[in-house]
Homo-oligomer: A and B are copies of this chain.
Amino acid sequence: MYSFKDDYSEGAHYKILEALVSTNLVQEDGYSMDSHCKRAIELLKEATDDYSIDVHFISGGTQTNLLTISSCLRPHEACISAKTGHIATHEAGAIEATGHKIITIENSQGKLSPDSIQHVLKKYSFEYAVKPRVVYISNPTELGTIYTKEELKTLYKFCKSNGLLLYLDGARLSSALVVPEAHLSLKDINKYTDAFFFGGTKNGALLGEALIFSNDDFKLDFRYMLKQKGAMLAKGRILGIQFETLLEENLYLDIAKHGRNLAQKVQSNLKAIGFKLLVESPTNQIFPIFSNNMIENLRKDFAFHTWSFIDQENSCIRLVFSWATPIEKVDEFLNRVNQLKEKGL
């Protein structure tokens, strides 16, 4: 049984493990004041070409989201998100638990447009409602789709013209950075957001996200908030070491390419033999639509999540590919689909 459930089924990329082992007995200061965190911050400054950013390393995405959003809002301020946004659907009310409403926007591709936000601003413009302040997007989105450089720039400019902060959830950011037609780099992401996080957990790290603030509004006293929400690891070194490794020689891009390439291979093969997709995804997650019979048969050899109901006979599944996915498993999967298709499933 091989699993395509997600990109966190294995441990860490071997270079990360090596770095953890080789530095293990060197004494370092705690709470991310160690030399590795410092080095990783330097590497992020180089990669973004922005030497005024603040960087914090946090163990996971939900914590990063709730910390960032709650740190910059006054009690009556709210966050705008796509209805499919991770904060709106998969974080157990984490944002509301910090006291803030999420205003959700219907959408088809997991993405927000200036028009849709403009509509919200018009509706939420009186003092008996909450006041929108942060726009949350994820790139890639929860549907594997992406904002290109041009789209991100447009959205950012719209936010700046409307007193909004743009925050980007980059749990799988590297997977967007390796999409050639997106024309995105860490420099662009940093330039066209007020804050974003660069995900480690889903790109080869044991755990960890690097949160980057370019807008000064986020910077003051943020370490107090890290501490308050229990997000400051005593051995902060383990986050520093991992990001240092991911950023050295652009390992993060190599890792992301592997998973993305396999996903694209499967997606294009499935399309070629006639399968439909829920969305066309350019990243490492794909959403093919199969008959329920096909799905039942595939489950004998492969694990994956059913994503959504299509009709009585068909469902959409999600397949995720990572640095750890062996190419042989991908071939096995495609062969199995072909076999089953030939049998009329």
- List residues of chain A with CB under 8 Å of any chain B CB: 2-3, 5-6, 8-12, 14, 17, 20-21, 23-30, 59-67, 70-71, 74-76, 78, 89-94, 96-102, 127-131, 201-202, 206-207, 221, 223-225, 227-235, 237-238, 324
Of the A-B pairs whose beta carbons lie under 8 Å apart in the complex, a sample of 20, sorted by A's number, is A3-B27, A5-B30, A11-B23, A11-B238, A21-B21, A60-B233, A63-B229, A65-B230, A75-B97, A76-B92, A78-B96, A91-B128, A91-B227, A92-B225, A96-B101, A127-B221, A127-B227, A130-B228, A131-B224, A201-B234
State A218–B224 Cα separation when bound (angstroms): 22
Contacts of A227 in B (CB 8 A): 62, 76, 91-92, 94, 127-128
Identify which of B96, B97, B128, B130 contacts A229 (C-beta below 8 A): B97
Interfacial chain B residues near A66, Cβ < 8 Å: 229-230
A36 to chain B, nearest CB (A): 11
Kindly state the separation between the CA atoms of A63 and B207 in the bound complex, as whole angstroms. Answer: 16
Cβ–Cβ < 8 Å partners of A71 in chain B: 74-75
Q: How far is the CA of A12 from the CA of B23 in the complex (A)?
A: 10
Indicate which residue in B61, B101, B234 contacts A93 across the interface (CB closer than 8 Å). B101
Which residues of chain B come closer than 8 Å to A59, judged between CB atoms?
59, 207, 230, 233
Q: Is the beta-carbon distance between B17 and A21 smaller than 8 angstroms?
A: yes
Q: Which of A5, A206, A238 has the most CB of B within 10 A?
A: A206
A30-B8 CB under 8 A given contacts A62-B227, A127-B223, A230-B229: yes
Whether the pair B93, A130 counts as a contact (CB closer than 8 A) is yes
| Chain copies in the assembled complex | 4
Q: Which residue of B lies closest to A21 (CB)?
A: B17
A24: chain B residues within 8 A (beta carbon): 10-12, 14, 17
Distance from A68 Cβ to chain B, minimum over Cβ atoms (Å): 11
Known: A71-B74, A89-B129. A64 touches B230 (CB 8 A): yes
* Chain B residues with CB under 8 A of A60: 230, 232-234
- Return the contact of A92 from the options B20, B63, B130 (Cβ within 8 A): B130
Least Cβ–Cβ distance between A216 and chain B, in angstroms: 14
Contacts A8-B234, A9-B30 aside, 9 further interface pairs with beta carbons under 8 A come to A8-B30, A74-B225, A76-B93, A76-B224, A76-B225, A99-B99, A127-B221, A127-B227, A229-B229
